[in-house]
Structures are given as C-alpha cells and as structure tokens.
Amino acid sequence: MLDRPEEDLVKKLVYILGHIDGEKPMQILIRMTHHSSARVRLEALKALERRNKNMIKGLFHLVNDPVVIIRRMMWNHLEQYKNEEIGDLILDYLQQKKIIYRDDRQILSCFKTLGRCGTPGSIPFLGQTLLGQRWDFGSERSLWRQGAVLALVELNTQEAQDILKKASRSLLPSVRSAYQKALKDHQ
C-alpha cells in the first residue's frame, strides 16, 4: 500500500506506522524518507524522531532534501547531539562539499553543529576555512568563514581560541569582518 500513487493515503499510512513499535516498521519509515513526495518524507522524519533520537546515519541524507522545512528540521535534530560520530559525518560533508542547497542558514547550522559535536579533528579544517585562501573574497567564502568562527566558538578549546584570536587580528579585512559578523550573530 505504501507504493500507491495516492499521496494522502501513503502519508496516513506512514503516520500510523510511526505509532507501531518494532524493527520492521522502523525500516519501512527509513525507506519512506526517500519517497518522492515531500509530505511523505516529512511525515516519516517526524515519526522517526518520535521513535528514536539517535538514527542520524540513516537519516543524514535529509540534510540535502529539496524541501527547506525538512533540511531545517534535520539540522535542528542534529544540533541536539554532542557526538564525535555525527561530527565526523558533518566534517566529511563539508570537506567533500556535498552541500546541494546552499542557503545561508543551512551552512551556518552545519558549522555550528560541527562545533557542538566537539570533534577535535575538525580544528585544522576550521582554521584553514577561516584563515586560509587569503585572496578569495566571494560571498560564499565569507559565509564559510563565519561558519568556521561559529564552530570554533562552540568548540571552546584553547586551540580554537588561538585561531579565533588570529582571526580577530588578521590583516585581511574579509577575515576580520567574518569574525565580527559571526560573533554579532552568535549573541
């Protein structure tokens, strides 16, 4: 019945599945997060969130969902966890530039969540993102620098503080500007 073309029927079935315990309904719900209908994917995500808060690997593909609400819901869900495994997923996502829908809020959420995960292996990447590529002044580059500042603030380690101090004193206006803007938005 879940393969039927009637979107409203499938959405209702997904809702019902979300209230049934067991491994099989959970597997079906995960499969439904790949459904062609955004309403069905959203309903499946809601059901899975209610069911099990730690299903990130199986749902991580939703950070690139074409529907903004689903992407934001997923990032809100990810922000709740301070977990190196999630941090590693996000770090790989950023390093491999797997971001498909480049809205400002998603990129900043991505970096902020990376910082909250406390992944020590992310510090070199964040330092390079903030201080590297000296002559790249594009708006996307500025956004990534702001995101790196947010992540470093969230990490709150001595190494992160040292990188932030360098950024605040940088000779490059684009680095100082990104630093100041990110701190202003963070407060």
Within a domain: residue 61?
no
Within a domain: residue 40?
no
Instruction: Give me the pLDDT at residue 59, please.
Output: 86
Instruction: Give me the pLDDT at residue 121, please.
Output: 87
Q: How many CB atoms lie within 10 A of CB 107?
A: 19
Within a domain: residue 57?
no
Within a domain: residue 148?
yes
Instruction: Give me the pLDDT at residue 163, please.
Output: 94
Instruction: Give me the pLDDT at residue 126, please.
Output: 94
CB 180 within 8 A of CB 169: no
Q: What is the mean pLDDT of residues 87-93?
A: 90
CA–CA separation, 17 and 75 (whole Å): 24
pLDDT in tens, 33-72: 999 889 999 999 988 888 766 677 778 889 999 999 999 8
Instruction: Give me the pLDDT at residue 99, please.
Output: 81
Q: What is the mean pLDDT of residues 121-136?
A: 84
Within a domain: residue 70?
no
**Full domain range(s) for residue 98:** 82-186
What CATH number does residue 156 fall under? 1.25.10
Q: For the chain, what is the domain count?
A: 1
Within a domain: residue 32?
no
Within a domain: residue 95?
yes
Within a domain: residue 43?
no
Instruction: Provide the percentage of residues in the chain whose pLDDT is more than 90.
Output: 27
Contacts of range 77-85, beta carbons closer than 8 Å, 24 or more positions apart: 77/49, 77/53, 78/109, 78/113, 79/109, 79/112, 79/113, 79/116, 80/53, 81/54, 81/56, 81/116, 81/117, 82/116, 82/117, 82/118, 83/56, 83/117, 84/117, 84/118, 84/119, 85/56, 85/57
Instruction: Give me the pLDDT at residue 107, please.
Output: 87
Q: How confident is the model at residue 172 (pLDDT cuts 50, 70, 90)?
A: confident
